[in-house]
Structure 1
Amino acid sequence: MRLGLIPAALVAASIGACAPVDTPPAPAAAPQAVSAPPAAQPEISLETLKTVTQTLSSDEFQGRAPGTPGGEKTVSYLAQQFDKAGLQPGNNGSWYQEVPLVQVSLEGDPDLSFTGGKQPLSFDYKEDMVAVSYRFTPHTEVKNSDVVFVGYGINAPERGWNDYAGLDVKGKTVIILVNDPDYETQGLEGPFEGRAMTYYGRWTYKFEEAARQGAAAAFIVHETEPAAYGWNVVRSSWTGPQLYTDAPANNMDETVVNGWLTNEAAQQVMAAAGKDLATLTAAAKQKGFKAVPLGLKANIAFDNKIERQASRNVIGILPGSERPDEYVIYTAHWDHLGICEPVDGDNICNGAVDNASGTAGLVALAEAFAKAGAPDRSIIFLAVTAEESGLLGSAYYGANPVYPLNQTVGGINIDGLNLVGETRDMVVVGRGKSELEDYLERALGQHGVALKPESTPEAGSYYRSDHFSLAKYGVPMLYAESGDDLVNGGIAAGRAAAEDYRANRYHGPADEYDPNWDWSGALRDLEIYYQVGRELADTNEWPNWYPTAEFRAIRDKSRAGAE
């Protein structure tokens, strides 16, 4: 999930609060006219929000990990809630879409060592490093692999940047920096959009590119600011059973090993090679950087337990009254981490904010739409699985849509609700991408809420939640959440609440239901999500991405085939 005002903008603000951010430039095209009038105020049930959130985050659901009894209990419960809300089963008479998954569990701890330097190094699993294999094989081993520092690990020909230029890394171990080379820029200008992270800055891209280059192993150097989360998050998310979408040939085209090193461990590796991490990092920020062979050999081995299983997306639909074959979609992920690293004897990561609250919001919106009566277009409510494992459920829906994506007008993603109070502002994640923002601004105007730029675009939050899985296929998706400025306490109070969540609860056992939460911000945000979706469902317009958005060409091509 994205970190912020419990959970979106404010945790990110606490990490980068001192960095001013430019307002995005005006889009290159004027917004389309909209035929529908502004939507009426909805009836969002506070009781539904509380009940569903508390139920899903109770110990009975064991942290809602896909493929577990708690996960099965979750999808059954959500189907019942969608039915109760007044929806119809959304997949040819079924509430479910099967998502084939593979669970890979380490058997014993990996042993990572480096030789050939000033001194041999060995790193402790969880404390110094984490490692997994994307390959579905019972034994994983990389032996005597040459180690290369490849800077930010980016190959972007359209930007004239290639950290792998002139380099053959087949069978080698690459060490990579997180984020983009220009993430410390104070504005939004630079080879990689300045402070705003591009997809090249995401860890997912870096492992994908290392695999394309033929590397045997890839390790990303963790640092809290550019990663936008602490080592505790890496440790909790990358240990224990890992889920992947089932794939042909057991994913043998992936790297053998992917993992993370703490910054301290990476410094030791560089020092053993007679190098300095800070000096190499500074060099890697410059265009024309050349990868640096370290003269070291990497060794790592571990065994895996491979278990094929299925999880399920839950789909409900409210058929449209006039154009039922045109769709507006709301998404939220129902899963969390399940049984995790214990803290003070508690080993259940309940995921109350992340994302029992957002899933409850999906149910409450379904109720509100059903009570108001069907709009012109159909409304899809999609609760997806395995977001915490890499957006697997939404990615599967994107590749195997139940409803045609070229007939899906657009949608809204909910990844956690604001539970610390109403704010004076909202933030669009990835602002300046689509004409859905015009719908949002009209709804905000009815509430007297300001639209603000992201506090920390360097966190790359646009690529970290389920809207991205549909955006990749061209569907305009909006991801907007409460901003920083709390009505009671202002920005300082909001940032303090966000920092407390990030440090003490995010992806840990302490993310539990709290009867003292302030739901006013959540209710206000859900009213806005409703108004945007209702207006979108009652218009005959097809809002698009702005011409500068990376998804515009995909959408234009898909819509050309639909018309």
Structure 2
Amino acid sequence: MHQTRWSNLSGWVVGVLILVGGYCFLAGPSTLTIDEALENLSTETFVNHMTALSSDLMTGRRPGSPGYDAAAAYVIKESRSLGLEPGGIDNTYLQSIVFRRTKVDPTSTAFNVDGSPLTQATDFTLHPRITRDNIDVEAPMIFAGFGISAPDLDYDDFEAIDVTGKLVVVVSGAPDHFGSLERTVLSSNASRDAELRERGAAGVIIVRLGETRASAPSRTRYVVPPDLTQGAGIPEELEASVTVSQRVAADWIKRSGRTFENVLETIRSGVPLSFDLGIDGRVRGNFVIETFESANVAALLPGSDVDLQDEVLVLTAHLDHLGTGIPIDGDSIYNGTLDNASGSAALLTLASVLTSMEAPRRSVLFLWVTAEESGLLGSEYFARFPSVLPRRIVANQNIDGVMGMITAPTDVLAFGYEHSNLSEAVDFAVARTGTPVSPDPTPEENLFIRSDQYAFVRNAIPAIWVQGGRTSLDPERDAQGELDTWIAERYHKPTDDLDQPFDLEGVRRELAANLLVTYHIVNEMGPIRWDENSFLYRRWVGG
């Protein structure tokens, strides 16, 4: 293993930014074999790119900022130097997106039930809307369990009710018999709100379990975002969305002759229970909306097989991070070195190798997406409005954090392995490297649906995410423990910067695994197919 510190490299940053194209990462023939390509994978190339993208000069790469634009320009210049073709709009490397960012005006919010006002923050919190600058919604209120319709899991909160034009009260969560993945997907705001929109609801009122206030201060960032950002091309939302405390909801349910505890026990047991509350609600509020522009960066390596060249594997990494924020120990720049300058650098490193090999049979689109940190927005926009038409996207391979940097692992994790035959590409990679695939060590976190690959999945495109595992080459090291420490001390903090330890052997192994997966998908796989038994297939593809 070769451990270094980023501080030893940070002095190169300005030179790296200026001398783009000044390093030829691969010497030799222009048609490397896969074995030669593996030998030529350059961790130095990777480090150079990551050092540039996570330097203070990029000011944290917040979408819409000069720092993000500088990072995008760097990626474009590197892509052009490798001979990659423009993969964006109008023969450019960019797919620009107009975003809306909105905040609630707290002086304007009101929520009355049968004419009686509730108290903001203590009783309720209004969620910002993205498609309107004010709301005034008055409607009957109805209780609809968890707000989930899942006939394939023998559960449907809407079977006996009509929510058209109503404010729908739902409890956060899902029945106890749901698996972890099913629970996370179906209880998400996106899934529940989409279900309610389709059924014509006027709005949603979400009951947060175990909270005496509408939003617990320590969880506000996750429960009720202070602002909401969305691509202008995806304007889908309910007119009103509110969180209320469990205490308030219990009072409403008590008026119907039931207790909150008995209702919760019933729906948790898997028995739907929905009913009119016999009360009317009125929700009002104003929102401050601003627009800004940010872009996905897209570079194309065309395929060579006349029968397959219109099929595209999209290799993704999110280019954005958090920008600048609250200083910690005097540092206000959230550089995002691991998250995700490392993934962006990995794409450039893989591109430098793949462009030195024989042209792939399928086409490869290298896609650096924006606004992942705001909710996978850049990848969602691309998946809905792909810039490579008339070519057809057949698969996505995502890299979000080269975790092998933290401690060189003996294994890899393959998120999404069980959902499609992209597992064949993972099997090919591990057979060539002798690196085993380990089970997901934290399945309850459902990481597969928490990064950009999930935007493709939601648009019926199979995806895979291969990452360094949690078993270190050094038996004296606790890989999972080191990752947990990294999350506690550096994740989404200014300390995820160039001044942290990293492991070049871990980087090399993770790059090799991803290169082999890519190679197999674009050169050796037959038709790419979902596993029709997959819950995600049933949810997003097969109905």
Q: TM-score range by the shorter chain?
A: 0.7 to 0.9
Match of 2:175 in 1: 181
Report the secondary structure of 2:455's partner residue.
helix
Between the aligned residues of both structures, percent identity stands at 26
Instruction: Indicate how the Cα distance of structure 1 residues 173 and 135 shifts in structure 2: closer, same or farther if over 3 A, else same.
Output: farther
Q: Offset of 1:57 from its aligned partner?
A: 3.1
Instruction: Indicate how the Cα distance of structure 1 residues 456 and 113 shifts in structure 2: closer, same or farther if over 3 A, else same.
Output: farther
Is it true that 1:123 corresponds to 2:121 in the alignment?
yes
Q: Is the 8 A contact 2:370 2:377 kept in 1?
A: yes
Q: Is the 8 A contact 2:313 2:363 kept in 1?
A: yes
Match of 1:22 in 2: none
Report the secondary structure of 2:295's partner residue.
strand
Q: Offset of 1:281 from its aligned partner?
A: 4.1
Q: Is the 8 A contact 2:63 2:294 kept in 1?
A: yes
Counterpart amino acid of residue 218 in structure 1: I
Counterpart amino acid of residue 398 in structure 2: N
Is it true that 1:96 corresponds to 2:94 in the alignment?
yes
- Between 1:435-444 and 1:505-514, the stretch displaced more is 505-514
Is it true that 1:78 corresponds to 2:64 in the alignment?
no
Which entry has the higher C-alpha Rg, 1 or 2? 2
Q: Is the 8 A contact 1:476 1:545 kept in 2?
A: yes
Between the aligned partners of 2:94 and 2:325, the Cα distance in structure 1 is 27
Is it true that 1:201 corresponds to 2:199 in the alignment?
no
Q: State the Cα deviation string for residues 512-561 of structure 1 (Å, max 9, x = none).
A: 3334222432321111110111122222622322232367699999xxxx
Counterpart amino acid of residue 162 in structure 1: D
Which of 341, 345, 357 is the aligned partner of 2:342?
A: 357
Question: Taking CA–CA contacts closer than 8 Å with sequence separation of 6 or more, which of the two structures ends up with the larger relative contact order?
Answer: 1
Q: Is the 8 A contact 1:207 1:258 kept in 2?
A: no
Match of 1:446 in 2: 432
Which of 152, 155, 172 is the aligned partner of 1:158?
A: 152
Between the aligned partners of 2:528 and 2:202, the Cα distance in structure 1 is 41
- Segments of structure 1 that go 5 or more residues without pairing to the other structure are 1-35, 183-189, 225-229, 558-563
Between the aligned partners of 2:193 and 2:302, the Cα distance in structure 1 is 41
Which of 40, 45, 63 is the aligned partner of 1:48?
A: 45
Match of 1:62 in 2: 59
Q: Is the 8 A contact 2:112 2:283 kept in 1?
A: no
Instruction: Indicate how the Cα distance of structure 1 residues 195 and 531 shifts in structure 2: closer, same or farther if over 3 A, else same.
Output: closer
Match of 1:219 in 2: 206
Report the secondary structure of 1:371's partner residue.
coil
Q: Offset of 1:181 from its aligned partner?
A: 2.2
Between the aligned partners of 2:64 and 2:130, the Cα distance in structure 1 is 19
Between the aligned partners of 1:135 and 1:402, the Cα distance in structure 2 is 24
- Between 1:394-403 and 1:513-522, the stretch displaced more is 513-522
Q: Offset of 1:96 from its aligned partner?
A: 0.7
- Between 1:515-524 and 1:286-295, the stretch displaced more is 286-295
Give the total of aligned pairs: 497
Match of 2:442 in 1: 456
Q: State the Cα deviation string for residues 389-446 of structure 1 (Å, max 9, x = none).
A: 2322222222222334874443311111103112222222233111111221121123
Q: State the Cα deviation string for residues 101-158 of structure 1 (Å, max 9, x = none).
A: 222234457757676899965426xxx9764333422224556x76665443201233
Between the aligned partners of 2:197 and 2:406, the Cα distance in structure 1 is 42
Counterpart amino acid of residue 424 in structure 2: D
Could you tell me the TM-score, scaled by structure 1's length? Answer: 0.75
Q: Is the 8 A contact 1:106 1:303 kept in 2?
A: yes
Between the aligned partners of 1:512 and 1:238, the Cα distance in structure 2 is 28
Match of 2:4 in 1: none
Match of 2:357 in 1: 372
Instruction: Indicate how the Cα distance of structure 1 residues 120 and 532 shifts in structure 2: closer, same or farther if over 3 A, else same.
Output: closer
Which of 498, 503, 513 is the aligned partner of 2:483?
A: 498
Between the aligned partners of 1:205 and 1:155, the Cα distance in structure 2 is 10
Match of 2:29 in 1: none
Match of 1:4 in 2: none
- Segments of structure 2 that go 5 or more residues without pairing to the other structure are 1-32
Report the secondary structure of 2:424's partner residue.
helix
Between the aligned partners of 2:56 and 2:473, the Cα distance in structure 1 is 33
Q: Is the 8 A contact 1:163 1:291 kept in 2?
A: yes
Instruction: Indicate how the Cα distance of structure 1 residues 85 and 489 shifts in structure 2: closer, same or farther if over 3 A, else same.
Output: farther
Report the secondary structure of 2:297's partner residue.
strand
Output the aligned Cα RMSD: 3.9
Q: Is the 8 A contact 2:100 2:232 kept in 1?
A: yes
Between the aligned partners of 1:519 and 1:196, the Cα distance in structure 2 is 37
Instruction: Indicate how the Cα distance of structure 1 residues 208 and 408 shifts in structure 2: closer, same or farther if over 3 A, else same.
Output: closer
Report the secondary structure of 2:418's partner residue.
coil
Q: Offset of 1:314 from its aligned partner?
A: 0.4
Match of 2:273 in 1: 290
Match of 2:289 in 1: 306
Match of 1:396 in 2: 381
- Between 1:85-94 and 1:235-244, the stretch displaced more is 235-244
Q: Offset of 1:343 from its aligned partner?
A: 5.2
Match of 2:315 in 1: 330
Q: Is the 8 A contact 2:118 2:124 kept in 1?
A: no
Between the aligned partners of 1:350 and 1:440, the Cα distance in structure 2 is 31
Could you tell me the TM-score, scaled by structure 2's length? Answer: 0.78
Is it true that 1:256 corresponds to 2:250 in the alignment?
no
Is it true that 1:543 corresponds to 2:540 in the alignment?
no
Between the aligned partners of 2:183 and 2:539, the Cα distance in structure 1 is 21
